[in-house]
A and B are shown apart, each in its own frame.
Chain A
Amino acid sequence: MDPLRQSPSPCSSRPSSPKTPPCEMLGYVGIEAVLDQLKIKAMKMGFEFNIMVVGQSGLGKSTMLNTLFKSKVWKCTPPGLAMPTPQTLQLNSVTHVIEEKGVKLKLTVTDTPGFGDQINNDKCWNPILGYINEQYERYLQEEILITRQRHIPDTRVHCCVYFVPPTGHCLRPLDIEFLQRLCRTVNVVPVIARADSLTLEEREAFRRRIQHNLRTHCIEVYPQKCFDEDINDRILNSKIRDRIPFAVVGADQQHLVNGRCVLGRKTKWGIVEGPRVGKPTTRKQTDLEIKSLLAARRTQGKAGGQGQRSGSCLAVENMAHCEFPLLRDLLIRSHLQDLKDITHNVHYENYRVCRLNESHVLPHGPCWVNLAPTPPGPSVAPGPSKVCRQTREDSDDNEDDY
């Protein structure tokens, strides 16, 4: 790097005071119009968001994604259909562009079928780590080009949602291993999947145990404590951290309950109502609705003499039932930009540091870099500042001694 470190020309003058004195303005200047300019620019460019879901099969990952984005993001397989569990871990990505109120979001969803499904799950996280690092690598290669694009396409994984099976006890060794490795490379949000199999007390106890496990193993999940910038952030984030992992239930089927359309899961016990979802506007949705109605009637019939209202609907949007709204708010409504920022400023920078330090190890080649799955990420000591710096021996610092 050293050939590039040249001292600035003597004629240059940096701003004279490192601490800039505040100035009182006597009238309105219009500086705050820059916020609107920013907004316009952002809306024109559109946003990108890449999310990855990891968990064993059958935990409802695809359903969760569909629920989160209220659309058929992923074709999830109904249980029982012929879809053999993949023998090795696969990573499937799908990209959609969704728009809401003029805001365009390019959403990339990566699913990992086959995770943790084999008998021997040793090193099953390696393909995932490899994929994540591959995206970082791609961005890095784009960034270090001489003539680079105006807007580098961002495929880095911004958030990884990890589905913890609802055993009710504590984190399993597989979970712990995986979380330990991944929390250093990407923002991980653990959730308790299929939370409708736990009662509220069991849920709370499970959550506490998981939090205890996370603390014991020094696993920093998102929102990381070390990145809280100011007191407001800290208050907000500590509230969130108290509720992590969220107990969620995914449902993409709509049911008609008391004349309202509700996203939920229909079961045979209890009576619950949920919030409205919205008027079905396309044929597809009305089809769904009719189908579910018919299905409901059928199950009601089968249930026999339990009365007409024998079905119940676990409404996903109902905070009393599950914590899906919290997850959705965290991921989309309040912390999406923060997720992207931390990925860009911290995780990507860490990757870059390691990569540039080890550049003699990895193969050079044309733009498609085949990255072998990297060993478990470097140990990042969280510091008080926003940027996690890792103190590794700098080989290029030795050259300064002459």
Chain B
Amino acid sequence: MQQCIASSRPGSGDVGEKGPLPSFPFKGFPFRHGISRLPPSRRAHLFSRDSRERHRVRGFPPDSPSPRGDQGMGIVPRSALSHGHRSGSEMKGWDFRGGFPIVRAGTPPGTHPADLALPRMWTKALATHTKFSQGPLVVVGGSIKCSEVRRPGAANRGGADARKRKNEELRNLSLSGHVGFDSLPDQLVNKSTSQGFCFNILCVGETGIGKSTLMDTLFNTKFESDPATHNEPGVRLKARSYELQESNVRLKLTIVDTVGFGDQINKDDSYKPIVEYIDAQFEAYLQEELKIKRSLFNYHDTRIHACLYFIAPTGHSLKSLDLVTMKKLDSKVNIIPIIAKADTIAKNELHKFKSKIMSELVSNGVQIYQFPTDEETVAEINATMSVHLPFAVVGSTEEVKIGNKMAKARQYPWGVVQVENENHCDFVKLREMLIRVNMEDLREQTHTRHYELYRRCKLEEMGFKDTDPDSKPFSLQETYEAKRNEFLGELQKKEEEMRQMFVMRVKEKEAELKEAEKELHEKFDLLKRTHQEEKKKVEDKKKELEEEVNNFQKKKAAAQLLQSQAQQSGAQQTKKDKDKKNASFT
């Protein structure tokens, strides 16, 4: 309960402290406490400005017992490496970064293993890089997974010195009471429960091989789905999501089916839609991750966590379509091969079939999903179950009365195949492995291996690099900037083009309009002229007419005058006549 573990002291946040040394690209200068105790001869190079000088492993004379040999210590990642000497000891993937002995009084430097100090940095490196391997992080003489070096006979010496060193170098932190952070896993689990889980299964197999039935059986429910026909022109993927709840765990399950797989005459391209689908899900996640404003914890993860590959129960070997498809998928998804409709194979045939399949997979280099065996709690069960790969399963949703209870089974005239009977088929094993034991691991593998691989490839393809050709680390920002500028430049060019086009068009239109205007003007002038001419004509005619009228009037007046004169004279005549008559009468 109360254990003491190593502690270390990174100087990571030392703002304002100006030491004599430039800052290391590493958390904390490791020799903060040890330096003063080094003999001056060994100290000098530490203060040099040249980083290579500083990093170089200062020597132990080649004939002295190698410090690493005695202690078998684990160490520092290769990236922070020096070209230090190995002195015959072979490090697998780890390397030393300078062993600076701390001189104890009375012993000449470099000879006594106790001098070979364990700088704090190393324990810190251990702490981060060995992921809290079991036991106290006392390194010396203990069993460390990361280093392979151990000199025979040195163990005991290492042990005693270890304790001494432990007391002096490592900070024993003993908890004197119950602090309470053992509730941390529970807190974490509560959080995850409230968020819910996502699990996506891809079922790859021919039409009619029993994919939907198996899913129904696995999750003990009826997912509505109508069986597909054999007439599909190509392979397409159908994804459906369901929400399942068991006690307080909510699972968002997505089942992706390959419809039409294996039905075509030419199956060359059968695998392509599957690979594209998987890539599309990765792509969607990558897009979300690379956004500036993103919401990853809210994100409905659709990446495929497990791929169940249904192998047809021919009894002989894998089909070439199977091999090709699995080879294409193995680097993208966790493949779990299963033998479908296993009730058609006899037991002895099954055994041969399984071994044939596994050997074919191995010889073709197909990486199927390995059940994790590094965690003690599940290692055993995973190891025993992996022997039975590929699982021979039978799916059924119908219940048959067996004995005195109902069980899922398939009823044949010659017998009943029980789904959950381990002697009949491996369904129970599949369910154990897929759901009850390794679901979390499947998800983790998808995220940390397959997705990371995809991401790396995709980003590299787009031209992003971590390091320059000069092996100086490249900032992703710089590449973004470069690309962005490029893109902006392109956009500007396009904009210019469009603007030019626009201007041209405007000019054309303007010219056209001007022409039209000119025409109009001309027409107008013409019209005006004609109009004026007409007007003149009309006026001329009017004048004529007026003249005529005048003439006529004159004539009329004259005529009237004449007439009146005539009348007057006539009247006078008659009057005269009358007068004459009257006169005659009188």
* A residues lining the B interface (CB < 8 Å): 1-6, 8-9, 11-17, 20-35, 37-47, 49, 68-73, 88-106, 110, 127, 130-131, 134, 141, 144-148, 150-151, 153, 155, 229-230, 254, 263, 277-278, 280-282, 284-285, 328-329, 332-338, 341, 345, 349, 352-353, 356-357, 359-360, 364-368, 386-387, 389, 394, 396, 399, 402
Contact in complex: B440, A13 (CB < 8 Å): no
Minimal beta-carbon separation of B522 from chain A (angstroms)? 44
In the complex, what distance in Å separates the CA atom of A69 from the CA atom of B132? 20
- Whether B220 and A71, one on each chain, are in contact in the complex, defined by CB atoms closer than 8 angstroms, is no
Taken together as a complex, chains A and B put the C-alpha atoms of A229 and B298 apart, in Å, by 13
Contact B294 A30 (CB under 8 A): no
Q: Which of B517-547 contact A (CB under 8 A)?
A: none
- B174 interface residue per 8 A CB criterion: yes
- How far is A345 from B295 in the complex, measured between Cα atoms in Å? 8
B188–A20 CB distance below 8 A? no
Whole-angstrom distance from the CB of B188 to the nearest CB of chain A?
5
Query: In the complex the two chains form, what is the Cα distance from A15 to B3 in whole Å?
Result: 49
In contact, B13 and A15 (Cβ under 8 angstroms): no
Nearest CB in chain A: distance from B329 CB, A: 15
A-B contact pairs, 14 of them (CB 8 A): A1-B292, A11-B236, A12-B277, A12-B281, A22-B244, A31-B435, A35-B193, A71-B174, A71-B175, A98-B175, A99-B5, A366-B25, A399-B488, A402-B494
**A interface footprint on B475-494 (CB within 8 Å = 1, 0 otherwise):** 11110110100011001001
B192 and A38 contacting across the interface, CB-CB below 8 Å? yes
**Which residues of B are interface residues toward A (Cβ below 8 A)?**
1-3, 5-17, 23, 25, 124, 127-128, 131-132, 137, 171, 173-194, 197, 218-223, 236-249, 251-252, 254, 272-273, 276-277, 279-281, 283-284, 286-287, 290-298, 300, 302, 375, 377-378, 431-432, 435-441, 444, 448, 452, 455-456, 459-460, 462, 464-466, 472-473, 475-478, 480-481, 483, 487-488, 491, 494-495
**With A281-B2, A366-B25 known to touch, is A95 a contact of B241 (CB < 8 Å)?**
no
Across the interface, name the chain A residue whose C-beta is closest to B245.
A22
- The CA of A17 and the CA of B255, in the complex, are separated in Å by 12
Answer whether A11 and B277 are a contact pair too, CB < 8 Å, given A72-B173, A332-B179, A387-B298: yes
Chain B residues closer than 8 Å to A104, beta-carbon distance: 5, 132
| Nearest B residue to A143, CB-CB | B289
Pick the contact of B244 from A5, A25, A145 — CB < 8 Å? A25
Give every chain B residue within 8 A of A155 (Cβ-Cβ).
Answer: 12
Alpha-carbon separation in the docked complex, A333 to B161 (Å): 38
Known: A33-B437, A38-B188, A337-B191. A4 touches B290 (CB 8 A): yes
- Contact between chains at B13 and A101 (CB < 8 Å): no
B190 cross-chain contacts in A, Cβ below 8 A: 337
State whether B192 touches A32 (Cβ < 8 A).
no
Within the complex, the shortest CB–CB distance from A324 to chain B, in Å, comes to 12
Q: Which A residues are in CB contact (< 8 Å) with B283?
A: 6, 8
A215 to chain B, nearest CB (A): 29
Q: Which residues of B contact A329 (CB under 8 A)?
A: 180
Task: Judge whether B10 and A4 touch: CB under 8 Å.
Answer: no
Decide: A25 and B10 in contact? CB cutoff 8 A.
no
B294 touches A99 (CB 8 A): no
Going nearest first, the 4 A-B pairs with the smallest beta carbon separation are A12-B280, A37-B440, A337-B187, A91-B13
Separation of A312 and B470 alpha carbons in the complex (Å): 68
Complex contacts, A38 vs chain B, CB 8 Å: 185, 188-189, 192, 440
Most chain A Cβ neighbours within 10 Å, of B14, B128, B179, B238: B179
Are B243 and A22 interface neighbours, CB within 8 A? yes
Known: A15-B254, A29-B218, A359-B477. A21 touches B185 (CB 8 A): no
A396 to B472, CA, bound (A): 28
Q: How far is the CB of A296 from chain B (nearest CB, A)?
A: 19
Would A70 and B175 be within 8 Å (CB), given that A90-B17, A95-B7 are in contact?
yes
Q: What's the least CB distance linking B252 to chain A, in Å? A: 6
Shortest distance from the beta carbon of A354 to any chain B beta carbon, whole Å = 9
Out of B15, B223, B277, B279, which one reaches A91, CB within 8 Å? B15
Q: Is the CB of B23 within 8 A of A95?
A: no
Q: Which residues of A contact B252 (CB under 8 A)?
A: 20
B399 shortest CB reach to chain A, Å:
10
B244 touches A73 (CB 8 A): no
- Give complex CA distance A30, B297 in Å: 25
Q: Which residues of A contact B240 (CB under 8 A)?
A: 15-17
Q: In the bound complex, what is the Cα–Cα distance between A365 and B473 (angstroms)?
A: 7
Q: Judging by beta carbons under 8 Å apart, are A11 and B184 in contact? A: no
Give the residue name and chain of the A residue nearest to B249 (CB): A32
In whole angstroms, how far apart are the Cα atoms of A244 and B27 in the complex?
Answer: 35
Instruction: List the A residue with the shortest CB-CB distance to B9.
Output: A94
Contact B14 A92 (CB under 8 A): yes
Q: B271 to nearest A CB, angstroms?
A: 12
* Residue pair A337, B239 in contact (C-beta under 8 Å): no
A16-B241, A17-B241 given; A328·B180 CB < 8 A:
yes
A8 to B286 Cα, complex, angstroms: 12
Asked whether A134 lies within 8 Å of B13 as measured between CB atoms, the reply is yes
Contact A3-B483, Cβ < 8 Å, known A8-B283, A11-B277, A25-B244? yes
Given A11-B237, A23-B222, 13 more pairs with CB closer than 8 A: A8-B280, A15-B241, A16-B241, A17-B240, A25-B245, A38-B189, A40-B378, A69-B175, A127-B16, A145-B466, A146-B466, A150-B448, A333-B181
Residues of chain B within 8 A of A387, CB atoms compared = 295, 298
Distance of B475 from chain A, by nearest CB (Å)? 4
B176 touches A280 (CB 8 A): yes
Contact of A37 among B220, B254, B438, B478 (CB under 8 A): B438
Chain A residues contacting B223 (CB-CB under 8 Å) are 23
Q: Report the minimal beta-carbon distance from B256 to chain A, rounded to whole angstroms.
A: 8
> Which residues of A sit under 8 angstroms from B435, Cβ to Cβ?
29-31, 33-34
- Is B5 in contact with A97, judged by CB distance below 8 angstroms? yes
Contact of B15 among A131, A230, A285, A399 (CB under 8 A): A131
Nearest to A387 among chain B residues (CB) is B295
Task: Output the nearest chain B residue to A373 by Cβ-Cβ distance.
Answer: B15
A-chain residues with CB within 8 Å of residue B302 when the two chains form the complex = 14-15
Chain B residues positioned under 8 Å from A2 (CB to CB): 487
Contact B132 A46 (CB under 8 A): yes
Whether B127 and A97, one on each chain, are in contact in the complex, defined by CB atoms closer than 8 angstroms, is yes
Given A21-B242, A278-B176; A29-B7 close (CB under 8 Å) = no
Contacts of A98 in B (CB 8 A): 5, 173, 175, 179, 181
Contacting residues, chain B, for A1 (C-beta < 8 A): 290-292, 480
Give the distance in Å from the alpha carbon of A229 to the alpha carbon of B438 in the complex: 30
* Contact call A95/B25, Cβ cutoff below 8 A: no
Closest to B399 in A: A26
